[in-house]
Amino acid sequence: MNFSGKRCIVTGGTGALGAAVVARLRAAGAAVAVIARGAAPGDMDFSGVDLADPPAAAAAVNRAVEQLGGLYALVNVAGAFRWETLVDGHIATWDLLYSANLKTAVCASKAALPHLIANGGGRIVNIGAASAAKAAAGMGAYAASKAGVAKLTEALSEEVRPKGITVNAVLPSIIDTPANRADMPKADFSKWVKPDAIAELIAFLLSDAAGAITGALIPIAGRV
């Protein structure tokens, strides 16, 4: 895949998955801007951004597009995870994960859409979760927020289909990250899906070859 001349924004591009996506796209020739809450040291990267705040998200996206010189694709990686049962947990966790996983994607997408329309079309890829389809104990808040991402993907794909914009989501199971290894030290890490594998799928969805695919919720589960 050759993304030379393609201008992309990756939210949450400083985490394990986001960094893999950024590296894959840049390796293929794309110009990539990162928008993240944490430190983002690159020349076209924006740190300290609360993407769940509509004005902050819009300002960051607009600045990124100005530096990029346009926009072809938005990849919404920003998100959070917390395992917590309803019996012993906190209602605030539901607000936290709704904001981190769904509202960030909504705000970033809304900010990006005028630029994608001006481009004559483009791509949006969201990060959902396999657990949104069948949630285990302790996964209620996380799965509910990711189910929202799935429905956002489906609805938005229909909304912007006539404008030449595709909207898809990838649904990972457990991602092989340092944080997950620390949380589950006795697990078989070889079964988990690798960030590079997810990044490769996202790159495909951004490619010309995937132009006919929209509204898709694509599982990528490793051997879990």
Write the pLDDT tens digit of every residue in 159-170.
999 999 999 999
What are the residue ranges spanned by the domains of the chain? Answer: 7-220
* 105, 142, 171, 198: the active-site residue: 142
**pLDDT of 224 higher than 90:** no
The chain-wide mean pLDDT, for the chain, equals 94
Please give the structure tokens belonging to residue 194: 């690798």
Active site residue 142: yes
* Alpha carbons 192 and 175: distance in angstroms, whole number: 6
123-162 burial: b if 16+ Cβ within 10 Å, else e:
bbbbbbbbbbeebeebbbbbbbbbbbbbebbbebbeebee
**pLDDT of 176 higher than 90:** no
**pLDDT of 65 higher than 70:** yes
Instruction: Note the pLDDT of residue 41.
Output: 65
pTM of the model as a whole: 0.95
Please give the structure tokens belonging to residue 78: 């920003």
Superfamily (CATH H level) for 7-220: NAD(P)-binding Rossmann-like Domain (3.40.50.720)
pLDDT tens for residues 15-53? 999 999 999 999 999 999 999 987 766 666 888 999 999
R_g of the chain computed on alpha carbons: 16
Are the C-beta atoms of residues 178 and 16 closer than 8 Å to each other? yes
* Alpha carbons 81 and 63: distance in angstroms, whole number: 28
Q: How confident is the model at residue 223 (pLDDT cuts 50, 70, 90)?
A: confident
Strands (E), 60-179: 73-76, 122-127, 165-172
* Alpha carbons 106 and 99: distance in angstroms, whole number: 10
* Alpha carbons 127 and 153: distance in angstroms, whole number: 10
- Look at residue 224 and give its three-state secondary structure: coil
Query: CA geometry: angle at 195 spanning 190 and 196, to 5°?
Result: 100
* Alpha carbons 157 and 168: distance in angstroms, whole number: 7
